[in-house]
């Protein structure tokens, strides 16, 4: 016999902002021996949300062979939406590295940076690493197909598939973006950090490195603690205004090319603000995206 159970809007106790989903109607086919009574208690699994509920017969029958029951219920396990797939782009000194740390810390995404992958592959002596090293030793750029394969293999690992990923500073060209799409990697969101050129130049030109500790300082925003540290600080050879502007020009050209691929899912973040204010903008966008994914999953159930 079929029993129709009407659930009001679900609420998620672990994530209050993921509440107020549309009502759910579930059809239960139970043998007569399990016909609901006033103290019946059942557990229903909708996707990855387990709902324990008791049933109470409604006054109006639904159909000739069906009876409508109203449910008193509570969530046993939270909705687990599809993991996030995020790309982030930002010019040198845009604060992208800081935002990646904040994003991965809060959302548990796997942080994937092409440069880090390249160094790791070379260190482990993998096939891709050996091929990349040959080009680098000749002073040549590593071909796209090698880097794309590294990124592909990293995104296919279990932790990336289970937890979601944050692809940092990649793709950098339309050909790289096209290759990722052909491999089936479609991001949910493409984040672009926008910082004025004057501020970027100021951030880069003022950077200094402590060769003893490896710590990065800034003469204005994060000065050294004492005179001893200040005396030994060095500046990278390419942290000059002229070289920074050349790097920015290249970056802007690359981003414009990639944006054509991700135009519909791109959000532009004002990166001129403090790191806390910048993250608040990103956090709001990611939270809204999770809400949409959770709501979509609940309706599908």
**Residue 259 tokens, joined:** 């944006």
Sheet holding 66-75, edge to edge: 24-29, 2-7, 66-75, 49-63, 41-46
Distance of CA 288 to the CA centre of its chain: 12
Residues with catalytic annotation? 96, 172, 207, 236, 247
CA distance 230 to 27: 71
Contact 201, 247 (CB under 8 A): no
Tell me the C-alpha to C-alpha distance, in Å, between residue 11 and each of 42, 59, 199, 222: 18, 26, 44, 45
Closest CA to 153 of 180, 122, 190, 188: 180
Exposure class string for 179-195: b at 16+ Cβ within 10 A, else e = bbeeeebebbbbbbbeb
178: phi then psi, degrees, rounded to nearest 5: -65, -40
Residue 92 token pair: 């040198």
Residue 218's alpha-carbon distances to 108, 203, 208, in angstroms, are 29, 7, 6
């Amino acid at each position: 016999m079929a029993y129709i159970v009407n659930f009001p809007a679900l609420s998620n106790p672990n994530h209050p902002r993921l509440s107020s989903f549309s009502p759910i109607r579930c059809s239960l086919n139970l043998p007569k021996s399990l016909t609901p009574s006033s103290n019946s208690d059942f557990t229903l699994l909708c996707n990855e949300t387990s709902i324990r509920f008791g049933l109470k017969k409604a006054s109006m029958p639904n159909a000739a062979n069906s009876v409508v029951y109203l449910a008193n219920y509570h969530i046993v396990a939270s909705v687990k939406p599809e993991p996030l797939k995020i790309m982030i782009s930002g010019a040198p000194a845009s604060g992208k590295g800081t935002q990646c740390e904040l994003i991965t810390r809060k959302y548990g995404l796997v942080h994937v940076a092409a440069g880090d992958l390249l160094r790791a592959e070379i260190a482990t002596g993998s096939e891709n690493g050996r091929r990349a090293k040959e080009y680098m030793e000749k002073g040549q750029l590593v071909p796209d197909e090698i880097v794309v394969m590294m990124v592909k293999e990293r995104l296919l690992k279990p932790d990336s598939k289970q937890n979601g990923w944050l692809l940092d500073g990649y793709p950098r060209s339309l050909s790289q973006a096209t290759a990722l799409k052909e491999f089936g990697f479609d991001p949910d969101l493409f984040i672009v950090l926008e910082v004025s050129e004057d501020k970027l130049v100021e951030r880069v030109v003022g950077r200094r490195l402590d060769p003893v500790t490896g710590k990065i300082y800034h003469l204005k925003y994060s000065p050294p603690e004492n005179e001893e540290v200040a005396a030994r600080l060095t500046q990278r050879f390419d942290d000059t205004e002229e070289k920074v502007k050349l790097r920015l020009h290249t970056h802007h050209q690359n981003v414009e090319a990639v944006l054509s691929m991700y135009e519909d899912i791109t959000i532009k973040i004002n990166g001129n603000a403090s790191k806390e204010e910048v993250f608040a903008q990103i956090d709001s966008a990611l939270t809204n995206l999770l809400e949409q994914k959770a709501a979509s999953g609940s309706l599908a159930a």
